[in-house]
Chain A
Amino acid sequence: MRLDRGRVLAALAPGLALAIWSGAGLLIWRAARPEALAQALAGQGALLLGWLALGAAGAGWLALSLHDRLVRAPRRLADAAANLAENPAAPLLDDPAPLAQAVNRLAGRSRALQADMERLVAEASRKVAQERDQLGALMAELQQSVVVCTLDGRILLYNERARALFQRLSDAPQIAGGADLIGLGRSIHAVIDRPLIEHARETVERQLARGEPAGAARFVTTTGAGHLLQVLWAPVRAEVALTGYVLLLDDITEEQAAQSRRDQRLVALTEASRASLANMQTALDMLDYPDLQPAERDSFQQVVRDEVQAMAARLAELTQGGADAQARWPLQDMLGADLLAAAAGHLRASSGRAPAVEEPAPDLWLRVDSFALVHALGDLAAPLPEGVAPGLRLAEAATPGWAHLDLSWPQDAAPAEGFAAIRASARAVAERHGGELWLEHDRAAGRSFFRFLLPMAQGRREAAGDPRPEFYDFDLFGADAAGHALDDSRLEQLAYTVFDTETTGLDPAGGDEIIQIGAVRVLNGKILHGEGFDQLVDPGRSIPEAGIPYHGIRPEMVRGQPRIAEVLPAFHAYAAGTVLVGHNVAFDMRFLQLKEAATGLRFDQPVLDTLLLASIAQPHEPSQSLEAIAARLGVTIAGRHNAAGDALATAQVFLALLPLLKGRGIVTLGEARAAAETSYYARLRY
């Protein structure tokens, strides 16, 4: 055993103290009675020394055992506790002392907690890994190149096609295999210029700011190696904030080149033919003059022969293929006001000029390459003298289907020749749109302007539905296996059809009928907003006036709607394989059951009632109406007393009840049904 200084000190200290005490006593004695001391020491000195030594030994042993108990043991306990806290593999304390046992209990609890946490983390990681694998498999199968980026352009994810595409774009394809351009964590701006991406983002953000569903922005860009890339920019959002974006890339170089060659040839042929026809027509008209000289007649006949020959040659050339040309770029629908806002922003940023923008008509939509246009406007404005604020205007043109985009300035502010160099590239942009660009002067208003003739979008864009239907859920694979023994399934893992009906009255047996069925699906704890069921039903009888304020369904609304015999099969199929959920669902089920004989459809799946579940979760609340429960659980109801609105509210309530039920030990479907049966409200029968 290692020599412990503390223990040695503890053992020796009493002996030392006794020695000092005795020494001091002897000194006093000698000072007072020196002869008596000498006599005593001579007589009982050995005995006295022995007694003192015995006392020192006894006190030493006592001090040692006290030291062990009060100093060493707590220290060891502290060390052991620290070890237990830090080291999950450390053995529990082998010590019956209450303090040690308390430490053991604490350690046990903390270990259980940690194990729980690790299990949850592992489960979550496994789920994430699974989703990632499925996403990876999906992306690998996509025919398009997909790149997912963070907002600052770092690449998070890409598929094999994207890698192959970037390999083609690379200047050194054989060496780097595209990895010089693409790689996780690398910047996408190596391939696609940042301003293009920013422009797409601003376009989408403007849509979002107007409350429109988040669309995608489309643009076309050329790369260093001369490729033409069509890019779709789609936002990735967490709640409302943009967190990144997805790029879908298409290399359209080949098809665009081919397309533009065809277009070019067609235009060239048309124009050349018009010219030739005009030449022949006029020459023939001249030949009609009766007083022609023979030489003149010959020359006009020669014109006709020339032109016929030229047309034949052109047709022959056409069949053999023609020259390359300016590509006709894919365009995107854009609100006119958005285009002007983007242009004004660019003018301000690029030249520090604040343009005067005239508000365009609010419903004027264009079909444009907005990035190219905005930059062309910026270029055209650049030669204007300092201090001249350009004007921007957008209006429908006299030519149907076309609009004017004007960049104007005071007529005497700039000479028309100053723009010569920029004109060509701006013209190319206009031609990309199949449009035109010219310089016009409005002498009355004293302004000159460049006018772009741009195509308007065909028709209004249709109102989109829910921006994000939940058409995917990677937990589906897990839920499938749970389909059989539903009673043992955990409530949050089941698929539900949460539904509500509106009826002509409250007495199904007395002839009242369903006039509306609304439902939503709930899967893996999420409401699938994109998969709703909302159907009006012709009841085949009158709708009592008394009920109309309640459900808001007037007789003319159900006229021409399908009868219940057509609707129920659809709803039956919709609800197949799910647990039915409703509020006071016994009422709705009664209506469904009364149709069983007529339709042959049985709704025999498990049924849960939010009214019963709420009374289990919160038994002491006085009201279990849907409104009251919703208010307690913080659920807002939109469209109350509309079957679809009520179904949605019920679904939200149902999801909010699940954690409360869990707190009362109700975890599986079987437990929930058993608890519901014993509930007070379960005695209600329709």
Chain B
Amino acid sequence: MVTRVLIADDEPNIVLTLSFMLKREGYEVLTVPDGVQALAAIRAERPALVLLDGAMPGMTGFEVCEAVRADPEVAGTPILMLTAKGRETDIARGIGAGADAYVTKPFSTRELIVKIREMLA
């Protein structure tokens, strides 16, 4: 069975490259452009991993994260926050809200792939 990864980000450029990269890694990739759709996709598609941007229109990544952790159905979904919000307080909030990993943009693609592999292992 193919591992399904959800990318939630409102910037098409990063979605383009991330999905290209993950597809090359052999994952099935879903993409959504905002937080509300991200939450819906998580509930509907049950992805094995979510790459979540912090600042999205509608519902921010942090809020999506909180909502996922509050919903017993999907509370266990692994979440990797991938965001330009790099202050210490942002990181504390991301981890506090329940993200399993917090990666600040810009990042090294090699390390990101290693981290994704670890989380899906």
Binding site for B on A (CB under 8 A): 270-275, 277-283, 285-286, 289, 296, 299-300, 303, 306-307, 397-399, 402, 415-416, 434-441, 448, 451, 453
Contact = CB atoms under 8 A, between A and B. Distances in A.
Given A283-B17, A303-B13, A435-B89, A277 B24 contact: no
B93 A277 contact: no
A363 to B, nearest CB: 22
Contacts of A278: 14, 84, 105-107
A141 B105 CA distance: 53
A282 B86 contact: no
A402 B92 contact: yes
Interface string B104-119: 1111111000000000
A279 B84 CA distance: 11
A279 B107 CA distance: 9
A289 B97 contact: no
A299 B91 CA distance: 32
A435 B92 CA distance: 10
B16 to A, nearest CB: 6
A275 B107 contact: no
B109 A281 contact: yes
Given A274-B104, A402-B92, A436-B89, A416 B16 contact: no
A296 B20 contact: yes
Given A416-B66, A440-B69, 6 more contacts: A278-B107, A280-B106, A282-B21, A285-B17, A399-B91, A439-B97
A435 B89 CA distance: 6
Where chain B touches its partner, the secondary structure class is helix
Contacts of A299: 16
Contact of A451 (B55, B96, B104, B110): B96
Contact of A274 (B20, B70, B92, B105): B105
Contacts of B96: 436, 438, 440, 451, 453
A436 B93 contact: yes
A432 B19 CA distance: 37
A274 B106 contact: yes
A496 B67 CA distance: 73
Contacts of A280: 106
B13 A307 contact: yes
A116 B84 CA distance: 81
Contacts of A274: 84, 86, 104-106
A272 B14 CA distance: 13
Contacts of B92: 397-399, 402, 436, 453
B84 A453 contact: no
A272 B84 contact: yes
A436 B90 CA distance: 7
**B interface, size bucket:** 20 to 34
B11 interface: yes
29 contacts: A271-B55, A271-B85, A273-B84, A274-B104, A275-B84, A277-B106, A278-B14, A278-B106, A279-B14, A282-B109, A283-B13, A285-B109, A286-B17, A289-B24, A300-B16, A300-B20, A303-B17, A397-B92, A399-B92, A402-B88, A402-B89, A436-B89, A436-B92, A436-B93, A436-B96, A438-B93, A438-B97, A440-B66, A441-B98
Given A274-B104, A286-B17, A286-B21, A441 B93 contact: no
B62 interface: yes
Contacts of B11: 275, 279
B70 A439 contact: yes
Nearest to B94: A438
B69 A279 contact: no
Given A275-B84, A286-B21, A439-B97, A281 B108 contact: yes
A398 B92 CA distance: 8
Contacts of B16: 299-300, 303
A275 B11 CA distance: 9
Contact of A282 (B14, B84, B93, B97): B14
A399 B55 CA distance: 22
A300 B21 CA distance: 12
Given A271-B84, A303-B13, A397-B92, A438 B66 contact: yes
B18 interface: yes
Contacts of B17: 279, 282-283, 285-286, 300, 303
Nearest to B17: A282
B81 to A, nearest CB: 12
Given A274-B84, A278-B105, A278-B107, A306 B98 contact: no
Given A399-B89, A438-B62, A416 B67 contact: yes
A281 B107 contact: yes
A396 to B, nearest CB: 12
B93 A453 contact: yes
A296 B17 CA distance: 10
A274 B109 CA distance: 14
B97 A440 contact: yes
A602 B109 CA distance: 83
Contacts of A307: 13
A272 B106 CA distance: 10
B8 to A, nearest CB: 14
A374 B89 CA distance: 21
Interface in B61-82: 62, 66-67, 69-70
A281 B91 CA distance: 21
Nearest to B85: A271
A271, A289, A415 — which one has the most chain B CB atoms within 10 A of its CB?
A271
Contacts of B97: 438-440
A306, A398, A439 — which one has the most chain B CB atoms within 10 A of its CB?
A439
A440 B98 contact: yes
A65 to B, nearest CB: 109
Contact of B86 (A270, A437, A438): A270
A268 to B, nearest CB: 10
Contacts of A296: 20
B105 A277 contact: yes
B39 to A, nearest CB: 12
Contacts of B108: 281, 285
Contacts of B106: 274, 277-278, 280-281
B94 to A, nearest CB: 8
A282 B106 CA distance: 9
Nearest to A310: B13
Nearest to B90: A436
Contacts of A300: 16-17, 20
Contacts of B105: 274-275, 277-278
A272 B54 CA distance: 12
Nearest to A280: B106
Nearest to B86: A274
B21 A271 contact: no
B69 A441 contact: yes
